[in-house]
A and B are shown apart, each in its own frame.
Chain A
Amino acid sequence: MTAIALPLVQKTQSKSQWQVIWEQFKKQPQAIFALFVLLALYLAAFFAPFLTPYDRQETWVLEGVRYQAPTKVHFWGNGRLQAPFVYATTRKVDVENFETKFIEDTTQKFPIRFFASRGEPYRLFGILETRVRLISVENPARLLILGSDGTGRDIFSRVLLGAQISLTIGFVAVGISFLIGAVLGGLAGYYGGFLDSLLMRFAEVIQAIPPFFLLIALSALIPSLLPPEQYFFGVIIMLGLTSWMDLAKAIRGLVLSIRDQEFIVSARALGIPEGRIILRHILPNTSSYLVVLGSITIPGAILAETGLSFIGRGVREPGVSWGLMLADITQNGVSGLNLHPWALAPGWYILVTIVAWNVLGDGLRAAFDPKKRR
């Protein structure tokens, strides 16, 4: 028998699910932009000790610094363009409204130093011990890019160092709640019956406690004398423990719909152990949905941390987080707030972060949704 001439088929590489999603995602410029904004924020947080001129608790409060306005960086001096420099400032109290003002002393000029050593040593990437900072100036000049807070500390440095906490908390807490949600939701959906109703009722019972008050109650369980790093860890666990319920319900619904499909039935017929079926066959099928759910849950966790820290039940001094920085404003009295609006900076950082996460989440949702494909 001679070979049958097959019709010439154009060889097309079929795309994997993730390739299709990535293509759909790329078609949304706002989501790409949000992704870059988030990348920039997370990179800035990661390199914070290097990017910041000061340490998180470095203060000039003893020199009377309180809500000093952002330092002006000059490029023009002696009638020509120069390397950037700042002037030292002298303190002056306004007799009209008792606000402290800082006047530039133009006789004392300090160039901005790049890659100079300053302050306490820190570990870059967690290994390299160094004192090199991207920008700094020599005393007595102060390089306050976003001004100082009510306790005389540099807001810019604190915003970046606080980002390390405020930004990671979302990731890690959502990771914990995913773990709990996937296990409990997976079990409930796969086994159904009594276990299902038990776990789902349990989730409902937790949800009947207003989440914010539940967090406040749980925060009392963290020993208040813990060092800031461990205390922060406690806050993360707390956030994770209180946010898994919706995830578990969603995963349960997904597992329920996948459970009776043919490939699972055949896996069962092959005698594959049940744990392996859940882990290797069912949960991966929920992954695209989980990515979307994650991008929606993370901003919620970030907001929860800032809110808790704001009322003093989250991150504590000497730690620093965006919520804690906003708490500093109210603790120092809001009466002159309009005179030092730069102190609101951490709030704007929260806004940008949450908006970016939300836009990214919407973009992912559109990319994953077959109905919305273009």
Chain B
Amino acid sequence: MLLFIAKRLLNIPIMFVLSTLLAFMIIQAGPGDPAQLQAFGADRYGQREVDRFIVEFGLDQPVMVQYFQWLGRAATGNLGRSLESGHEVSQTMRVPVTNSLILAGSSLILVFIIATFVGVYSAVFENSPFDRLVSAGSYVFLGLPSFFLAILFVALILELGWRGIRIFPIGGMTSNNFDDLSSIAQVADIAWHLIAPVLCVALSQVALYARLLRSQMIEFLADDFVRTAKAKGLSSRVVYFKHALRNALIPFVAGIGGLLPALIGGAGLVEVVFNYPGITGVMLSALQVKDFFLFTGLVSVSILILIVGNVIADVLLAIVDPRIRYQ
């Protein structure tokens, strides 16, 4: 087991280097292209500033050389300088990355909780009105793009506001008077702003995972060991949640690795609608102004999050499923 974890951990840097190399080459061909940067940047940042920037970071050298220079600097925590603001990229990135992680993390927890309960109950009460409602609802939520769901949320909040009912704030992450609040009130304020975007991000994913869990549960509920457990006189709650669910969760846990990119991506569009200060907004504006290092930094951090998330999912899977043996 430890060896397995060590192996997976060793995989992280290899995957990271290869994926960032690929991303770097794509970005180099686009916003990082020195010719483009000069043509575009001269107006915006001034010819001298752009020239200095290109020389400072060796942007006129071959892609491979540039990449390994970038990687070498990245290893020491230096991700380059933002062309737009002049600040260190690692500084500029900190807040949006944290915000996006908060959003994706809260959504992940919510997906897990809702999908577990909905999946278990619709499997236990198969073909009941509840089950039918869930399966119809899951089709709808699978078909709703996350950003359209977000727009619908905004419309609903506005309509309620029009009638004098204020439920959630519409945009941003904090209220205007955020700085004057006590630290507890600040946390509450952020949580308040988070509810609507988290719901939007989670709901479209819940449908997928509740369906997966339901079909797994139905299979296991018909199994002999469940019948044995029932015959032993265990309460149905114990049978469902300890015996059947433990088995049904296995593919579900394996799927969390796939959930993470979906959450980061889906969250991105919701971030845009709710004006949430996360990765996507910064990334889009960085692309707009050809802020090469900021964009590269954001992409590579998201790659790192994804790879680490996948490894965590693998390790979790090994813990949950005792049948898996790792040499």
Q: Which residues of A contact B (CB under 8 A)?
A: 201, 204-214, 216-218, 220-221, 299, 303, 306-307, 310-313, 323, 326, 329-330, 334-338, 341, 344, 347, 350-355, 358-359
Contact = CB atoms under 8 A, between A and B. Distances in A.
A351 B303 contact: no
A323 B273 CA distance: 13
Given A334-B154, A350-B145, A351-B140, 11 more contacts: A208-B19, A210-B302, A212-B264, A212-B265, A213-B302, A214-B26, A216-B283, A217-B26, A221-B29, A307-B147, A326-B148
A210 B303 contact: yes
B31 A220 contact: yes
A337 B30 CA distance: 36
B296 to A, nearest CB: 9
A208 B303 contact: yes
B144 A351 contact: yes
A354 to B, nearest CB: 4
Given A210-B264, A334-B170, A344-B152, A307 B145 contact: yes
Contact of B23 (A209, A306, A312, A335): A209
B15 A358 contact: no
A310 B139 contact: no
Instruction: Enumerate the 8 nearest inter-chain pairs by beta-carbon distance, A residue then B residue, closest first.
Output: A212-B265, A220-B30, A354-B143, A338-B159, A355-B143, A208-B19, A347-B148, A338-B158
Main secondary structure of the interface of A (DSSP, over half): helix
B27 A208 contact: no
Interface in B146-175: 146-148, 151-152, 154-156, 158-159, 162, 170
Contacts of A355: 139-140, 142-143
Nearest to A206: B22
Given A205-B19, A216-B283, A311-B280, A211 B26 contact: no
23 contacts: A205-B15, A205-B22, A208-B19, A208-B303, A209-B22, A209-B303, A213-B268, A221-B29, A299-B143, A307-B147, A307-B265, A307-B269, A313-B287, A326-B151, A330-B151, A334-B154, A337-B155, A338-B158, A344-B152, A347-B148, A352-B143, A354-B145, A355-B139
B313 to A, nearest CB: 13
Contacts of B272: 310-311, 330
Contacts of A329: 151
A303 B145 contact: yes
Contact of A310 (B22, B30, B269, B295): B269
Contacts of B307: 208
Given A221-B29, A341-B155, A204 B15 contact: yes
A210 B306 contact: yes
Given A209-B22, A310-B147, A344-B151, A330 B302 contact: no
Interface size class of B (residues with CB under 8 A): 35 or more
Nearest to B21: A205
A337 B151 contact: yes
Contact of B154 (A217, A313, A337): A337
Contacts of B162: 338
Nearest to B156: A338
B284 to A, nearest CB: 6
Contact of B145 (A213, A220, A306, A337): A306
Given A217-B23, A341-B155, A359-B139, A212 B268 contact: yes
Contacts of B280: 212, 311
Nearest to A207: B261
A302 to B, nearest CB: 9
Contact of A210 (B139, B140, B145, B265): B265
